[in-house]
Structure 1
Amino acid sequence: MEPVNEVVCVVDDDASIREALTSLLHAYGKSVQSFNSGQEFLEEAPWDTLACLILDMRMPGMSGLEVQEHVINNSHVSIVFITGRNDVPSTVLAMKSGAVDFLTKPVSEEALLRAVDTAIATTQTQRREAAEAAALRALYETLTPREQELLPLLVGGMLNKQAADVLGISEYTVQVHRGHIMKKMRAPSFATLVRQASRLELETTSTSNRGF
């Protein structure tokens, strides 16, 4: 993936808090945008470069938890919640939904910066994994229907002859397909192919299930 200018978004209805957090993050070299409501953020957020969302839990209109629900369903963005009071139920809900941290106002500079760095690193990891998964899926889609049918049999532990019997084709044809699969999946070894199939969550058929 090409490096991008990671953006931190601050969403809080309190202008003084937005300004304070924005100034602090700018001082530490972060690119920052601020919004006064969850709705404004959802309408104008820089999704392509957004890496961390600092989100107030309680705001007029859309709450922080409601904003979180929209974000986690539509993007890979890590969230740091801030709140004016210790709200245990909301904290539990936020963390179960994947929030990186939950800070109580007034937020310490050290805790905030640590949480933001963790959030950015988490977002980068999620996006890299998503890109790798998409690339792997694209390779899988280049396989012919027969090759896609054969792949789970092979990674499930069947020998070429056994897979040939299951599919009603010759062992030589299985060998040819196997070579094509390895090439198209860019797998340097069979062990790599097994790992790829696992990441694709293909349903495999073991030899024991077939009675071999």
Structure 2
Amino acid sequence: MASDFKTMDANSVVYIIDDDEGTRTSLTNLLRSVGFVARSFEGTAAFKAFDKPDVPSCLLLDVRLRGESGLFFHQQEKKTQRIPIIFMTGFADVSICIRAMKAGASDFLIKPLADQDVIDSVTAALAVDKARLDTERVRNGLLEAYGSLTSREREVLAYVIGGSMNKQIAAEIGISEITVKVHRGTAMRKMNATSLADMVRKAEAIGLEPIFC
């Protein structure tokens, strides 16, 4: 059964999956003692069913579990479970964990776990996930802004990030240079771009393809 905790609006969460109750309790107490919010599960099914808050997170995952193993879970879920995974393992499974890291795992820790190793690994993993979430939120904001552009503003913007001058764009799409300037200015304002270079960076962030005259 998952351990209880009340701070679901916390700034970050550390998840623990281990079928050994003693390990779950020890890790939960350790992490909470240094200020982390921890949530523990006996198996992967309960973890997958849990409604996770959209905050920086990481997962401490035992390699060998009753039922679905930690390694199998990682192999099946690595495309959808984007939070960093830190494997916990005995010496016999080190080579397995190294292969898992090559496949995208964040780190692995050898049992018996050293407190400082756990804290350091969790701290690093949460920093990575925070950076990922920050990037995603910026991109989502840019996509929302781009969605507010009219079709003509998008067309003009595609030429702008391709390096075309207003006169060239006007000739290419058959409107006046003044109208191009208006569309260009409106698009830049809606995208909150402070310069052409800034607009190009933002376009790249959302995968907007330039059009060249």
Moved over 6 A (4+): none
In structure 1, how many angstroms separate the alpha carbons of the residues matched to 2:110 and 2:75?
A: 21
Output the amino acid matched with 2:99.
V
Stretch of structure 1 that moved more, 167-176 or 48-57: 48-57
The answer to whether structure 1 residue 88 and structure 2 residue 95 are counterparts is yes
Q: Which amino acid aligns with 2:87?
A: F
Name 1:68's counterpart in structure 2: 74
Q: 1:14 aligns with which of 6, 13, 20?
A: 20
Q: Give the aligned partner of residue 36 of structure 1.
A: 42
- Which residue matches 2:158? 152
Give the % identical residues. 36
Evaluate the alpha carbon distance shift between residue 69 and residue 127 of structure 1 in structure 2; reply closer, same or farther with a 3 A threshold: farther
Task: State the SS of the aligned residue for 2:60.
Answer: strand
User: Bigger shift: 42-51 or 152-161?
Assistant: 42-51
Query: 1:100 is matched with which residue?
Result: 106
Change beyond 3 A, Cα 1:45–1:15: farther
> What is the rounded CA distance, in whole Å, between the counterparts of 2:207 and 2:51 in structure 1?
33
C-alpha displacement of 1:118: 0.6
User: What SS does structure 1 have at the residue aligned with 2:93?
Assistant: coil
1:24 paired with 2:30, answer: yes
2:56 & 2:192 partners in 1: Cα distance? 32
What's the counterpart of residue 142 of structure 1?
148
Q: Using the alignment, how far apart are the partners of 2:196 and 2:71 within structure 1?
A: 45
Residue equivalent to 1:113: 119
Equivalent residue pairs, number: 204
SS at match of 1:8: strand
Structure 1 residues not aligned, in runs of 5+: none
Say which SS state the counterpart of residue 46 (structure 1) adopts. Answer: coil
CA contact under 8 A between 1:7 and 1:30: conserved in structure 2? Answer: yes
TM-score, normalising length: structure 1: 0.86
Residue number in structure 2 paired with 1:122? 128
Amino acid at match of 1:139: A
2:3 equivalent in structure 1: none
The unaligned stretches of length 5 or more in structure 2 are 1-8
Match among 178, 182, 186 for residue 184 of structure 2: 178
